[in-house]
């Protein structure tokens, strides 16, 4: 995960942005908010204090009563030409399984994914990555180095370990997992525990 | 009695009784008795019929209790109505019959009342320590015992594939492919409603069955997926298993709160489970049979590098395409020393690359020579051999034409037929000697199965693939399983 700051006000958001360094991403967060992008609650590539303050004020105004308690998240803006997705899913027949795939907003349309049942070992994680159809995306790509498969496998093993450690975790969505200089970086994650999210 | 002992009673019984044998040739109770008798079953055959009388030369008795006391009988093949089966099962237990294959319908497939009857039957069977296969199943075959206790044809040839299916029709399909290709079956069982023993139980039995080299299963619903996975993963290190799954594309995605959930189709999760468990998953019924037939008859490839040996160009190109598209196989780069060796044996018009296209430059011994050279090269892990039987096909046209045997035709026909037989035998012998798979593919396998080429491939105990892409698909499955084992140090 990236270093980020959870703050309560537009002023504090500006302070956090200065501390993290521009450009930044500002999001509205809260336990009841699941899909931020779909609701326009993610503002990307904010380059100065004015932009951060405007975005934070606007986001706080967008909060709905059913969102409950909300906060503003400030994180460094990361860039990468490639986006992956990783996650944990509870299958009705096979129980909890870890997924990796082609990510970002096209993830569901492309549906290039691989699953393994929890717990995974390192060989399983490597084989999932090899199984993806879009192997060209995992090699050197548009001036960026090849995806660090060790780091990606570690992410998948981490999801498996989380599932083993906490039987209440129903699902995890790490989307997108942006590939920055070859390293997969989680910029957002949705964790569903028991019936709710956190 | 242990579970394997009961399975042995089902697959290799010392004697069989058909319960509910019928004198009407259209009824299951007649067909089952007919099939057991007509296929030369080794043990004693008995039959019960409420009214007595003789059926197909077997003097029936009114009930199990009336069977001769000293006759060893391990299996009851049950064709009676569901309502009388509890009493029948009790009689079996009294007599020491360890297993019953129940064909009767009216159980779990027949509504609430049927489900209750099934539950009661199984509770009784557990109490009596009798194995119940089915109910509502098509039957069981076991070629080592020449047992064909099923209510449909065919009787497959003996071989090393163990079949277990949630659908009886697929047992028949696989058996028909066995008849067609000559690649035989060891055991075959339709699980029916699988009330007491299901597909995983049969597959576990196959794992330690010396008659079975590969398991082949058809599944639709899996009651407890996690348990299925754990049981399969425990046996795949010992034996390859091929599965065909029905309902693979059915919806089943729940309205998911997450992207991961939306992407988790039943099919994608099942696929991942198969890869993780080392279970070979086939997309179609013929692919499933051919994968199993290849596991049963070829060594596992020790690496991904495949060479194509062909007597004609186009076939080689298409086969190279199929190998290149396979995620599990690689078109072997042509080793320089092998190229030089072949140069010394062929006129310069050969392809000088992989595919190794002999381009009509072959003489009497070229094909066995080249197959041997290629197979022995450490840079090659497997061979697909194309072009077998062409000359024999021409020979057949000559033989059937108006000029035969004059004009030198008799001699050339005999030569071509002898050569194709020789080439087919060479492919099998070189494969045995090198421990590398050599797959022979030609459409003549189905277009002219009596052609001496494909016929001899069958005689060597191997599958003659009806197209090169089907050979490549099967080989890919073998390589994937071999790599699964290698990576895990098995």
Tell me whether residues A95 and B225 touch, CB distance under 8 A: yes
DSSP E strands: which ranges in A103-195? 113-117, 169-180, 183-186, 190-193
Cβ pair B387, B443 in contact under 8 A = no
Query: Measured between CA atoms, how close is A119 to chain B, in angstroms?
Result: 11
pLDDT-based confidence at residue A181 (cuts at 50, 70, 90): confident
Minimum distance, in Å, between the CA of residue B37 and any CA atom of chain A: 43
Q: Which of A131, A173, A197 sits opposite B260 (nearest CB)?
A: A173
Q: Do B254 and A34 touch (CB under 8 A)?
A: no
B260–A117 C-beta distance less than 8 A = no
Higher pLDDT, B442 or A35: B442
Q: Do B132 and B125 touch, CB atoms closer than 8 A?
A: yes
| For A93, nearest residue in chain B (alpha carbons) | B225
Distances (CA, A) of A115 to A3, A73, B231: 28, 31, 19
Contacts of B254 in chain A (CB under 8 A): 92
pLDDT for the residue B155:
97
Residue B250 has pLDDT above 70, yes or no: no
Higher pLDDT, B449 or A104: B449
**Chain B residues lying within 8 Å of A101, measured CB to CB:** 263
Q: Is A31 on the interface with B (CB under 8 A)?
A: no
What confidence tens digit (pLDDT) does each residue in B71-91 have?
999 999 999 999 999 999 999
Q: Measured between CB atoms, does A169 come within 8 Å of chain B?
A: no
The model's pLDDT over B264-316, given as tens digits with 9 standing for 90+, comes to 888 899 999 999 999 999 999 999 999 999 999 999 999 999 999 999 889 99
Q: Structure tokens of B448?
A: 């002219």
Q: Minimal CA–CA distance to B197: which of B161, B159, B223?
A: B223
Alpha-carbon gap: B426 to the closest alpha carbon of chain A (Å): 36
List b or e across B111-120, with b for residues whose CB sees 16 or more CB atoms inside 10 angstroms: eeebeebbee
Residue A192 forms contact with B (CB below 8 Å): yes
Predicted pLDDT at A105: 85
Whether the link from the prior residue into B454 is cis, omega within 30° of 0, is no
State the average pLDDT over residues A168-185: 92
A93, A99, A197: residue with CB nearest B260: A99
Query: Cβ neighbours of residue B54 under 8 Å, at least 6 residues apart?
Result: B60
Q: How far apart are CA B412 and CA A63, in angstroms?
A: 89
What is the C-alpha separation between A116 and A125, in angstroms, rounded?
Answer: 8
Asked if A113's CB is within 8 angstroms of B258's CB, the reply is no
Beta bridge partners of residue A185, listed in sequence order: A178
Residues of B with CB under 8 A from a CB of A: 222, 224-226, 229, 252, 254, 257-266, 268-273, 275-276, 327, 487-488
Span B15-41, pLDDT tens digits: 999 999 999 999 999 999 999 999 999
**Partner B contacted by A83 (CB < 8 A):** no
At residue A78, φ and ψ (nearest 5 deg) are -110, 150
A100 touches chain B (CB under 8 A): no
CA distance B30 to B57: 12
Put simply, the answer to whether A97 touches B272 (Cβ < 8 Å) is yes
Assign A190 to helix, strand or coil: strand
Q: Mind listing the pLDDT tens digit for each residue in B353-383?
A: 999 999 887 888 999 999 999 999 999 999 9
Whether B261 sits inside 8 A of A197 (CB atoms) is no
Hey, are the CB atoms on A94 and B259 less than 8 Å from each other? no
Contact (CB<8Å) A34/B257: yes
Q: Provide ipTM, 2 decimals.
A: 0.90
pLDDT at B253: 44
pLDDT tier for residue A1 given thresholds of 50, 70 and 90: low
Residues B141-159: pLDDT tens digits?
Answer: 999 999 999 999 999 999 9
Q: Which helix (H) or strand (E) holds A153?
A: helix A149-165
- pLDDT (average), residues B385-406: 96
Residue-level pLDDT at B249:
57
Partner B contacted by A144 (CB < 8 A): no
Give the C-alpha separation, A123 to B94, whole Å.
Answer: 52
Query: By C-alpha distance, which of B18, B23, B20 is closest to B44?
Result: B18
The pTM for the full model equals 0.91
B272 vs A116: CB contact, 8 Å cut-off? yes
* The predicted structure's pLDDT at residue B151: 96
Q: Could you read off the pLDDT of B158-194 as tens digits, one per residue?
A: 999 999 999 989 999 999 999 999 999 999 999 999 9
User: In chain A, which residue's Cα lies nearest the Cα of B480?
Assistant: A127
- pLDDT value, residue A33: 82
Do A131 and B225 count as a contact with CB atoms less than 8 A apart?
no
pLDDT confidence bin for B252, thresholds 50/70/90? very low
């Amino acid at each position: 995960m990236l270093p980020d700051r959870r703050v309560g006000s537009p002023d504090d958001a500006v302070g956090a942005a200065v501390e993290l360094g521009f450009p930044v991403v500002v999001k509205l967060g809260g336990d009841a908010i699941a899909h931020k992008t779909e609701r326009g609650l993610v503002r990307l590539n904010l380059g100065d204090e004015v932009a951060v303050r405007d975005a934070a004020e606007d986001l706080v105004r967008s909060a709905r009563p059913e969102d409950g308690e909300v906060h503003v998240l400030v994180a460094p803006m990361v860039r990468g030409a490639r986006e992956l997705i990783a996650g944990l899913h509870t299958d009705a027949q096979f129980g909890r399984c870890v997924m990796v795939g082609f990510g970002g907003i096209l993830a569901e349309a492309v549906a290039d994914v691989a699953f393994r049942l929890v717990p995974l070992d390192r060989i399983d994680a490597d084989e999932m990555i090899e199984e993806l159809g879009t192997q060209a995306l995992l090699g050197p790509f548009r001036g960026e180095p090849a995806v660090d498969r060790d780091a990606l496998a570690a992410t998948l093993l981490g999801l498996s370990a989380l599932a083993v450690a906490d039987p209440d975790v129903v699902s995890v969505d790490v989307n997108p997992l942006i590939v920055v200089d070859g390293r997969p970086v989680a910029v957002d994650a949705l964790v569903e525990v028991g019936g709710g999210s956190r | 009695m242990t579970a394997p002992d009961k399975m042995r009673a089902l697959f290799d019984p010392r004697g069989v009784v058909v319960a509910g044998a019928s004198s009407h040739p259209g009824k299951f109770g007649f067909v089952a008795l007919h099939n057991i008798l007509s296929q030369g079953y080794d043990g004693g055959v008995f039959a019960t019929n409420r009214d007595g009388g003789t059926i197909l030369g077997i003097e029936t008795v009114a009930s199990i209790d009336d069977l001769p006391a000293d006759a060893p009988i391990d299996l009851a093949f049950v064709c009676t109505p569901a309502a009388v089966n509890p009493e029948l099962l009790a009689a079996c237990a009294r007599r020491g019959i360890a297993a019953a294959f129940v064909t009767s319908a009216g159980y779990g497939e027949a509504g609430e009342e049927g489900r209750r009857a099934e539950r009661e039957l199984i509770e009784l069977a557990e109490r009596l320590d009798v194995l119940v296969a089915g109910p509502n199943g098509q039957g069981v075959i076991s070629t080592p015992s020449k047992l064909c206790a099923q209510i449909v044809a065919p009787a497959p040839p003996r071989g090393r594939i163990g079949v277990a299916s949630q659908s009886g029709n697929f047992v028949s399909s696989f058996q028909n492919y066995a008849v067609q290709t000559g690649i035989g079956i060891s055991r075959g069982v339709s699980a029916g409603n699988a009330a007491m023993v299901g597909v995983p139980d049969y597959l576990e039995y196959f794992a330690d069955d010396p008659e079975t080299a590969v398991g082949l299963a058809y599944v639709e619903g899996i009651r407890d997926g996690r348990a299925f996975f754990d049981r399969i993963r425990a046996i795949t290190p010992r034996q390859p298993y091929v599965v065909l799954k029905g309902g693979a594309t059915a919806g089943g995605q729940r309205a998911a709160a997450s992207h991961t959930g939306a992407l988790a189709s039943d099919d994608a999760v099942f696929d991942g489970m198969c890869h993780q468990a080392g279970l070979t998953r086939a997309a179609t019924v013929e692919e499933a049979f051919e994968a199993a037939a290849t596991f049963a008859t070829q060594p596992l490839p020790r690496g991904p590098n495949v060479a194509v040996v062909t007597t004609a160009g186009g076939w080689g190109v298409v086969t190279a395409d199929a190998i290149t598209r396979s995620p599990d196989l690689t078109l072997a780069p042509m080793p320089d020393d092998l190229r030089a060796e072949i140069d010394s044996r062929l006129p310069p018009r050969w392809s000088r690359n992989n595919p190794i296209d002999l381009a009509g430059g072959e003489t009497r011994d070229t094909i066995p020579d080249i197959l041997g050279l290629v197979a022995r090269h450490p840079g090659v892990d497997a061979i697909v051999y194309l072009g077998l039987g062409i000359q024999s096909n021409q020979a057949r046209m000559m033989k059937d034409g108006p000029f035969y045997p004059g004009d030198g035709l008799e001699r050339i026909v005999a030569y071509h037929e002898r050569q194709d037989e020789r080439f087919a035998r060479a492919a099998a012998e070189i494969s045995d000697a090198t421990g590398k798979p050599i797959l022979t593919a030609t459409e003549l396998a189905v277009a002219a199965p009596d052609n001496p080429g494909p016929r001899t491939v069958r005689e060597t105990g191997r599958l003659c693939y009806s197209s090169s892409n089907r050979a490549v698909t099967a080989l890919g499955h073998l390589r994937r399983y071999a790599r699964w084992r290698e990576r895990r140090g098995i």
